[in-house]
């Protein structure tokens, strides 16, 4: 019977080096106490921030230093908790860190309303008195831009104090899905019991035994069904919080509020959804090809993840994946490539699944630490691509830290997903250029098609779902489990028209943690569209365009120094149009035809 190992059974070389942040928990405690004292120091500036240029600079620098320290404190605690979500000690540390961060945000909440008391002309005069304020020029511009949606200092402090409460549903969902929920063990064709987990569910749906896939699929979603009312209540209240907070900030809709933060027009969202819907025939072609390749009368939901090559793909060990990824990023320049290799040697990555470990993958770390990547590596092509994806985020952070002050280090997700999917696209290009084995090539093409399907198509479906769910709440309609199932099932039927849509897939919305960060997922879709355009510019004609690669590296170094659409224009992409999306969908169609020929 297969099982998930305990963390103690995994070699240290395959675990991230959190001791590089704090050598001991006692060091963490000392940093926690010191940050608490600094919160009081910052709060003392309330009512004085804009008295003169020198004071404004001082309070901005003190705020940034405090937030840098707290980000380290919170990051360490969260990653320790993610190593084993059942560990009560680190759950407590993470909760304390979140409370500390909320206290700091509350203490600093006076600052932006006070800045908004200035006119642009008054700030320009301050720049003349204190040239060092130039560092904060774009930040102040952004703060003044948000003036119509910023409340009084008293209300801002209240909203900051409530941040833990308004975000609680996501935390409840995370603990439910990662710590409390357990999934059945299903027997394979040899009679061996296989434990279903959040991390291996999709991987199990790639096994060639169709009856086994069916049993896994049913057992997994039946477990979600047992949590149906709990999850529906959590999501309903998450949506309600989004709507109420948007109203508190004078927005007409929650979507408008979410997109206005990074200054992305809602038309970008609508253009994405409309363009993808206009091209669903390509996705339908993919589904029909999969039905034919699997030689089945009806394509069922438990067939969707099966490779189009028709059998299991090659095993890719973690060390082999590292070699492929390092070679794949060579077009981005020698310095970029060498830093990637150094990162693997410096234990950026927590590689393997262990009992209680948070599912999925992410790139973490802070301005003052090395990057950290959480993985649940499964020795397959998909995990190799996930590694490349998260490494893109980490290298974006590294290059931004090199170039930008702390205030511009937290780049928007809209541009972050470009960096991750550029690495995926470069990996595809590298493998197709260097691998001769037809079976391997089929699986590379399959992985590319699946990545685009699950990113450009699937995430756009998710974007439609959460937009409509929020519209229902804003329109006064109750978000019951039945209504959410109905909404999701209808979208699934539109997107996967040739396949059979069953009752269990209508519950799939329950397993998507990103829904608790509203209007986040559409950026995966815009990100992959931009990434495919950038990679086409760099290596599209078969040779490396050094200028295009340099433009892309310049983009990575900007952090949040400009607004997202302007940043992407540095890299040669205009996301205010449908052009990058059309190019991505065209590339998808070409690769689909290529694989169909190979098959």
Examine the fold and report which residue of 118, 147, 166 is the final residue of a domain before the chain moves on: 166
**pLDDT at residue number 311:** 65
* Mean pLDDT value of segment 431-451: 89
Q: Which of 114, 390, 464, 508 is catalytic?
A: 390
Residue by residue, DSSP assigns 259-299 as HHTTT--HHHHHHHHHHHHTTHHHHHHHHHHHHHHHT-SS-
Distance CA 593, CA 83 (A): 42
Are 493 and 501 within 8 A, CB to CB? yes
Examine the fold and report which residue of 112, 147, 166 is the final residue of a domain before the chain moves on: 166
- Rounded to the nearest integer, the mean pLDDT of the chain is 93
pLDDT of residue 1 exceeding 60, the answer is no
Residue by residue, DSSP assigns 422-479 as HHHHHHHHHHHHH---HHHHHHHHHHHHHHHIIIIIHHHHHHHHHHHHHHHHHTT---
* Mean pLDDT value of segment 466-484: 96
Q: Please indicate, yes or no, if residue 193 is contained in any of the structural domains.
A: no
Q: Please indicate, yes or no, if residue 381 is contained in any of the structural domains.
A: yes
* E-state strands within 498-573: none
Q: Please indicate, yes or no, if residue 384 is contained in any of the structural domains.
A: yes
Are 131 and 402 within 8 A, CB to CB? no
Distance CA 360, CA 513 (A): 10
Calculated CA dihedral for residues 421, 537, 586, 312, nearest 10 degrees: -40
Q: Please indicate, yes or no, if residue 491 is contained in any of the structural domains.
A: no
**pLDDT at residue number 597:** 87
Q: Please indicate, yes or no, if residue 159 is contained in any of the structural domains.
A: yes
* Mean pLDDT value of segment 474-484: 96
Examine the fold and report which residue of 140, 166, 192 is the final residue of a domain before the chain moves on: 166
**pLDDT at residue number 296:** 94
* Mean pLDDT value of segment 354-369: 94
Q: Please indicate, yes or no, if residue 203 is contained in any of the structural domains.
A: no
Q: Which residue has the higher pLDDT, 530 or 157?
A: 530
**pLDDT at residue number 338:** 97
Smallest CA-to-CA distance from 226 within 290, 180, 284, 170 is with 180
* Euclidean distance between the first and the last CA atom of the chain, given in angstroms as a whole number: 35
Packing angle, helices 228-248 and 153-161, rounded to 10: 170
Domain count, the chain: 2
pLDDT of residue 118 exceeding 80, the answer is yes
Over the stretch 422-436, which tens digit does the pLDDT of each residue have? Answer: 999 999 999 999 988
Place of tokens 């603990």: 175
Distance CA 530, CA 422 (A): 8
**pLDDT at residue number 179:** 84
Over the stretch 181-221, which tens digit does the pLDDT of each residue have? Answer: 999 999 998 899 999 998 889 889 988 899 999 999 999 99
166: burial class by Cβ within 10 Å (0-12, 13-18, 19+)?
middle
pLDDT of residue 141 exceeding 80, the answer is yes
pLDDT of residue 77 exceeding 90, the answer is yes
* Mean pLDDT value of segment 295-313: 86
| Domain harbouring 49, CATH code | 1.20.140.70
What's this model's pTM, rounded to 2 decimal places?
0.83
Q: Which residue has the higher pLDDT, 198 or 237?
A: 237
**pLDDT at residue number 162:** 81
Over the stretch 362-400, which tens digit does the pLDDT of each residue have? Answer: 999 999 999 999 999 998 888 999 999 999 999 999 999
Q: Please indicate, yes or no, if residue 141 is contained in any of the structural domains.
A: yes
269: burial class by Cβ within 10 Å (0-12, 13-18, 19+)?
buried
Strands 372-377 and 349-352: parallel
Distance CA 136, CA 123 (A): 11
Q: Please indicate, yes or no, if residue 509 is contained in any of the structural domains.
A: no
Q: Give the DSSP H or E segment for 313.
A: none
- Examine the residue annotation and report whether 390 is marked as an active-site residue of this protein: yes
Can you give the residue range of the structural domain that contains 116? 10-166
| Domain harbouring 388, CATH code | 1.10.1370.20
Q: Which residue has the higher pLDDT, 168 or 74?
A: 74
* E-state strands within 328-406: 349-352, 362-364, 372-377
């Amino acid at each position: 019977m297969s099982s998930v190992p305990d963390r103690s059974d995994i070699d240290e070389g395959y675990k991230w080096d959190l001791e590089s942040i704090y050598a001991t928990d006692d060091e963490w405690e000392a940093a926690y106490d010191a940050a608490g004292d600094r919160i009081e120091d910052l709060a003392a500036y309330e009512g004085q921030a804009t008295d003169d240029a020198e004071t404004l600079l001082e309070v901005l620098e003190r705020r940034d230093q405090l937030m840098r320290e707290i980000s380290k404190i919170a990051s360490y605690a969260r990653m320790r908790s993610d190593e084993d979500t059942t560990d009560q000690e680190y759950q407590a540390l993470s909760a304390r860190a979140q409370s500390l961060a909320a206290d700091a945000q509350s203490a600093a909440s006076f600052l932006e309303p006070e800045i908004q008391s200035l006119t642009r002309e008054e700030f320009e005069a301050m720049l003349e008195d204190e040239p060092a304020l130039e560092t904060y020029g774009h930040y102040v511009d952004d703060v003044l831009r948000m003036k119509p949606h910023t409340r009084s200092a008293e209300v801002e402090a209240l909203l900051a104090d409530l941040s833990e409460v308004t975000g609680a549903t996501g935390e409840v969902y995370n603990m439910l899905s990662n710590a409390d929920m357990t999934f059945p063990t299903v027997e394979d064709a040899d009679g061996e019991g296989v434990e279903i987990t959040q991390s291996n569910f999709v991987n199990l749906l790639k096994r060639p035994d169709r009856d086994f896939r069916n049993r896994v699929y049913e057992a997994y979603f039946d477990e979600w069904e047992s949590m149906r009312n709990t999850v529906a209540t959590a999501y309903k209240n998450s949506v309600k919080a989004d709507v109420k907070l948007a109203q508190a900030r004078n927005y007409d809709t929650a979507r408008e509020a979410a997109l206005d933060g990074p200054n992305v027009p809602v038309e970008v969202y609508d253009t994405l959804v409309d363009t993808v819907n206009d091209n669903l025939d390509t996705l339908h072609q993919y589904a029909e090809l999969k039905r034919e390749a699997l030689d089945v009368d009806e394509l069922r939901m438990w067939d969707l993840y099966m490779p189009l090559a028709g059998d299991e793909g090659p095993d890719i060990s973690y060390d082999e994946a590292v070699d492929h990824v390092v070679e794949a990023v060579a077009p981005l320049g020698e310095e970029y490539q060498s830093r990637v290799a150094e990162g693997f040697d410096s234990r950026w990555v927590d590689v393997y699944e262990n009992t209680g470990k948070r599912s999925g993958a992410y790139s973490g770390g802070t301005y003052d630490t090395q990057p950290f990547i959480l993985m649940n590596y499964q020795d397959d092509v998909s995990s190799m691509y996930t590694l490349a994806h998260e490494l893109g985020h980490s290298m974006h952070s590294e290059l931004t830290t090199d170039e930008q002050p702390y205030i511009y280090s937290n780049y928007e997700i809209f541009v972050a997903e470009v960096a991750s999917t550029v690495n995926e696209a470069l990996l595809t290009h590298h493998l197709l250029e260097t691998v001769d084995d037809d079976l391997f090539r089929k699986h590379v093409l399959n992985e590319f098609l699946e990545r685009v399907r699950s990113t450009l198509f699937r995430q756009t479906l998710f974007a439609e779902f959460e937009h409509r769910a929020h519209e229902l709440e804003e329109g006064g309609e109750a978000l019951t489990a039945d209504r959410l199932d109905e909404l999701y099932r209808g979208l699934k039927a539109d997107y996967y028209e040739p396949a059979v849509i069953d009752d269990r897939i209508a519950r799939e919305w329950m397993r998507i943690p990103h829904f608790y960060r509203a209007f986040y997922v559409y950026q995966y879709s815009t990100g992959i569209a931009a990434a495919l355009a950038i990679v086409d510019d760099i290596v599209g004609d078969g040779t490396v365009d050094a200028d295009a690669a340099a433009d892309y590296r310049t983009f990575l170094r900007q952090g949040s120094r400009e607004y997202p659409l302007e940043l992407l224009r540095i890299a040669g992409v205009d996301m205010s149009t449908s052009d990058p999306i059309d190019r991505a969908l065209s590339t998808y169609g070409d690769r689909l035809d290529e694989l169909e020929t190979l098959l």
